[in-house]
Amino acid sequence: NVLVEDARTGLDVETLKKAILNNLFYVQGKYPEIATRNDYYMALAYTVRDRLLQRWVASVKQYLEGKHRIVSYLSAEYLLGPHLGNNLVNLGIYKEAEQALHEMGLNLDWLIEKEIEPGLGNGGLGRLAACYMDSLATLEVPAIGYGIRYQFGIFEQDIRDGWQVEDTDNWLRRGNPWEIARREISYDIKLGGYVQHYMDRDGKFRTIWTPDLIVKGVAYDTPIVGYKVNTTNTLRLWKSEAPNSFDFQSFNSGDYSNAVNQKIICENISKVLYPNDETRSGKVLRLQQQYFFVSCSLQDMIGIHLRQGERIEDFQTTFAVQLNDTHPAVAIAEMMRLLVDEYDLEWVDAWRVTTRTFAYTNHTLLPEALEKWDMELFASVLPRHLEIIQEINRRFLDEVTVRVYGDQEKISSLSIIGEGPRRYIKMANLACAGSFAINGVAALHTELLKQTVLKDWYALSPEKFSNKTNGVTPRRWMVLSNPKLTELISSKIGENWIKHLDELKNLEKFADDPEFLQQWMDVKLEMKTQLAQRIVNRTNIKVDPESIFDIQVKRIHEYKRQHLNILHVITLYNRIKQNPEAEIVPRTFVFAGKAAPGYKQAKLIIKLINSVGEIVNKDPDVKGRLKVVFYPNYNVTNAQKIYPAADLSEQISTAGKEASGTGNMKLSLNGALTIGTLDGANVEIRECVGEENFFLFGLTAEEVENTKSDGYNPFHFYENNPNLKLALDQISNGYFSHLDDTIFKDLINSLLYDDQFMVLADYQSYVDCQDQVAEAFKDKVKWARMSILNVARMGKFSSDRSIREYCDEIWKVKSVPVTLNG
């Protein structure tokens, strides 16, 4: 009611209307007749923000009053996606906002589409951090996420002539109503220079680090509200700037252009997100970014801890710090530096605090993706940290040598410093040595970690290891992205499942209800029709909503095997060419995903998908039964539109290579059935949904390793499988590339003579499995029944379950409900 509810806190339709008009006037300086859609977006965003602020302030107050352990999530990436819709869902006012705007002659969807998403991550790892922030708030757990406020997020992808071209992501160009700059919260960060040691008058050893550059980190805070709770946590991202004193110094010495240069160097540190690729090591700026955000974050946490009146030695009672992969692992050395050099702790006392504070999550088994820093490069950026790492390593190896009976191989595998033509720092080893807990992100991944890359660490400290299977937030990935399915589910089992995803189980008893089956199929068809419209708008390709929507959306990588998928497309196409009357169940193949700009083979795969699409889509013999779509610029915004329309989810990585996958969970929760290998979380998805509802193919991780050690010869599969041979020959002969037989040479050669990722070995098994998919899809009702059972059994894959496990088993933190006073 307008009279009693404040215009900045009220949640009813009338108050929202009033507040939107008020913000339109006082924030945008506009009145309705001249307001643009963006003006209305901003007015609505500020209306939502006002309501967040009330809960945010209450949460911070509550945390500071009591003694609670706070989770600190350190991540170089947060792939948040657009805030507006999500905040409306979590505040429980989506319907009310829709109604308010409707009464003002506006449409909420239009405004939601105005938001430019913050793409501050590459893919799975960054999106996981965003889902975890949602679940921490929803579970009412005190938490801070720390990261970098990149001015440019992941590049935007466009497709020209079938090739990927990159453009910068200037996501802040229209301002950001979701953050608050906290100029008063800033820290000076040293970089480069040299270190001196001396003994002071009291006979104590002292260390002075004289940097050659100081940058300032300024906090930018974004509120993260939980679903239908008051808890609103903080995502604190650091922006780099020149310290205030800087221009001053240079101005006084009259060196104006040097002052400007120094300012630019400082600002560069948080300028751009690095896309994952092989050339990322050896980048000084990347190491500077990692250290910059880690040091700001640790100084911030220590400040919070000490202001609570606590002793520095008890730091771990205030914070549990999670390292999201090794990107923030330099935190272990920085914590030691702060404790020993700045707070005068003895080494052993500092080490005790450090090793009770940090826990480390590994996200990849790919050896080329494990972070290593050349020692000279490291010393040039962090001279003091190199000394500290050497000291950590010396003490650690001293201890280890006894335990492994001097086994040199084990010692060098556990060493934080690698030897070779050049010495280097192994960040995973630093993370393991300095953490009290180490986890993988799916059951299979954790087992493989223990047996392969972290084998010697597991032998040394098995008690540190555990599995925490990934999960995704049902708020963004179901309620927000698929409101029709959400409503249908809730009409049968109520709304509790949104916070207790296991309750989806209750859908099972409706799997044979004809009316429910029909409604289920209607929703899917409607979502497919909507996606078909977007596809035609974006790519000019017309697709049939009645066809199987066969979807592979994720970063483009050889281990994810988008090229295996395209070999299947070519195989179906060839069946039609060989017999135009052949029975083919109509399919729409949707691909989307970015290739790292420096990753040649991945870019070639994109070109191949588009080339095959060009031929298949226009061939009259196909009669529209097959369509191949590459949907450009895959990001959170586009993902939300694609998942709800999927019939079939492609999770076809080489077994043992995909740590977990999370797109597999999102697609399945939206009713898609999975075709997949026994890789990552697929294994657990299949266990949950039942093998009869999962299309399994391919070698197991163990078989992959055995095949390789027995001397795998991909050429053998090429020679002995006529359909495979034809498909590969067509690609190399230029059948799909206007007779240009040079374009795909590198791709074909790598498949024929190396095939690291076993594409040819798994080809026939994949095609056979796809034939079973087509057969199953012919019975629409049976398919719908499988789809319902599949969703009903996916409750495990909520990020709420993952976060509960982290809280109980690693962080030992409890929830702290937040109350609003007044």
Which amino acid appears at position 483 of this protein? P
Tell me the HSE value of 106 on the side-chain side, using a 13 A CA sphere: 25
Give the Å distances, CA to CA, from 254 to 233, 248, 307, 707. Answer: 46, 10, 41, 68
User: By the 8 A CB rule, do 78 and 235 touch?
Assistant: yes
For the CB of residue 642, give the shortest distance to ligand 26M in the complex, in Å.
18
* Euclidean distance between CA atoms 264 and 372, whole angstroms: 27
Among positions 469-488, residues that touch ligand 26M (CB under 6 A) are 470
- CA distances, 97 to each of 17, 93, 222, 499, 783 (Å): 8, 6, 21, 22, 36
Q: Which tokens hold the place of 4?
A: 């009693």
Whether 446 is catalytic is no
Does the footprint of ligand 26M cover residue 363 (CB under 6 A)? yes
At residue 556, what is the residue type?
Answer: I
Give yes or no for residue 131 binding ligand 26M (CB under 6 A): no
Our measurement of the distance from residue 475's CA atom to the centroid of its chain's CA atoms, rounded to an integer in Å, reads: 16
Contact 551, 649 (CB under 8 A): yes
Which residue among 69, 239, 468, 554 is the active-site one? 554
Nearer to ligand 26M, 288 or 469 (CB): 469
Site track 414-453 with ligand 26M (rule: CB under 6 A), x = hit: ---------------------------x------------
Determine if 393 is a binding residue for ligand 26M (CB under 6 A).
Answer: no
Closest-CA residue to 120 (of 385, 363, 402, 327): 327
What is the closest distance, in whole angstroms, from the C-beta atom of residue 440 to ligand 26M in the complex? 9
Distance, in Å, from the CA atom of 89 to the CA atom of 101, rounded to the nearest integer, reads 16
Residue with tokens 């420096």: 598
560: annotated active-site residue: yes
- The smaller minimum CB distance to ligand 26M, of residues 94 and 797, is found at 797
49 binds ligand 26M (CB under 6 A): no
**Residue with Cβ nearer ligand 26M (276 or 482):** 276
10 binds ligand 26M (CB under 6 A): no
201 assigned to active site = no
Tell me whether residue 239 is one of the annotated catalytic residues.
Answer: no
Question: Which residues, in sequence order, are bridge partners of residue 467?
Answer: 440
Nearest-angstrom CA–CA distance, 270 and 220: 12
CA distance 471 to 476: 12
240 near ligand 26M, judged by CB under 6 A: no
Nearer to ligand 26M, 164 or 240 (CB): 164
User: Measured between alpha carbons, how far is 574 from 549 in angstroms, rounded to an integer?
Assistant: 20
What is the per-residue binding string for ligand 26M in 305-344, x denoting contact by CB under 6 A? Answer: --------------------x-------------------
Q: Is 588 a binder of ligand 26M (CB under 6 A)?
A: no
Q: State the minimum distance, in angstroms, from the CB of residue 525 to ligand 26M.
A: 30
Binding part of the chain for ligand 26M, among 81-89, 105-113, 284-292, 656-664 by CB under 6 A, reads: 656-664
Q: How far is the CB of 659 from ligand 26M (least distance, A)?
A: 4
* Annotation marks residue 363 as catalytic: yes
Beta strands in 362-428 (DSSP E): 372-374, 417-418, 424-426
- Based on the shown chain and the rule CB under 6 A, indicate whether residue 468 belongs to the binding site for ligand 26M: no
* Active-site option among 363, 475, 568, 785: 363
Interaction of residue 628 with ligand 26M, rule CB under 6 A: no
Work out how close the CB of 683 gets to ligand 26M at its nearest, in angstroms, rounded to a whole number.
Answer: 13
Which residue of 278, 346, 719, 779 would you call a contact of ligand 26M, by CB under 6 A?
A: 278
- Kindly state the smallest distance separating residue 369's Cβ from ligand 26M, in Å: 4
Structure tokens at 494: 């109520």
Q: Which residue is nearest to ligand 26M (CB)?
A: 124
Minimum distance of ligand 26M from residue 812's CB (angstroms): 22
3-class DSSP state for residue 322?
Answer: strand
Q: Which of 659, 724, 761, 807 binds ligand 26M (CB under 6 A)?
A: 659
Q: Which stretch binds ligand 26M (CB under 6 A): 245-253, 352-360, 418-426, 659-667?
A: 659-667
The verdict on whether 356 is a catalytic residue reads no
Please report which helix (H) or strand (E) contains residue 16, including its range: helix 13-26
As a whole number of angstroms, the distance between CA 424 and CA 416 comes to 8
661 binds ligand 26M per the rule CB under 6 A: yes
Dist. CA 524–CA 506, nearest whole Å? 20
CB of 122 to ligand 26M, least distance (A): 6
3-state secondary structure of 597: coil
Q: Which of 97, 128, 639, 665 binds ligand 26M (CB under 6 A)?
A: 128
Span near ligand 26M by CB under 6 A; candidates 220-228, 330-338, 365-373, 388-396: 365-373
Binding status of residue 140 toward ligand 26M by CB under 6 A: no
Q: Would you count residue 654 as binding ligand 26M (CB under 6 A)?
A: no
Please state the closest distance from residue 130 (CB atom) to ligand 26M, in A: 11
* C-alpha to C-alpha distance for 674 and 703, rounded to whole angstroms: 21
CB of 103 to ligand 26M, least distance (A): 42
Q: What CA–CA distance (Å, rounded) separates 389 from 161?
A: 49
Other beta carbons less than 10 A from residue 34's beta carbon: 9
Q: Any idea of the CA torsion for 629, 762, 163, 285, to the nearest 10 degrees? A: 120
Min separation Cβ 684 and ligand 26M, Å: 12
Stretch that binds ligand 26M, among 180-188, 272-280, 305-313, 609-617 (CB under 6 A): 272-280
| Angle (nearest 5°) at CA 708 between 702 and 710 | 100
Phi, psi values for residue 712, rounded to 5°: -70, 130
Residue 575 tokens, joined: 């069946």
Pick 661 or 714: Cβ nearer ligand 26M: 661
Nearer to ligand 26M, 441 or 570 (CB): 441
Give the DSSP letter of residue 551. Answer: E
- Eight-state DSSP code of residue 709: H
Residue from 69, 557, 560, 561 carrying the catalytic annotation: 560
* 395-402 long-range contacts, CB within 8 A, separation 24+: 395/347, 395/351, 396/433, 400/460
Catalytic residue among 239, 555, 594, 796: 555
According to CB under 6 A, which one of 658, 755, 762, 800 is a site residue for ligand 26M? Answer: 658
CA dihedral 118, 122, 123, 127 (to 10 degrees): -40
Cα-based angle 481, 501, 126 (whole degrees, multiple of 5)? 55
Q: Which region among 201-209, 270-278, 304-312, 763-771 touches ligand 26M (by CB under 6 A)?
A: 270-278
Known catalytic residues are 363, 554-555, 560, 662, 666
Residues interacting with ligand 26M, by CB under 6 A?
Answer: 123-125, 128, 276-278, 325, 363-364, 366, 368-369, 441, 470, 596, 599, 658-662, 680
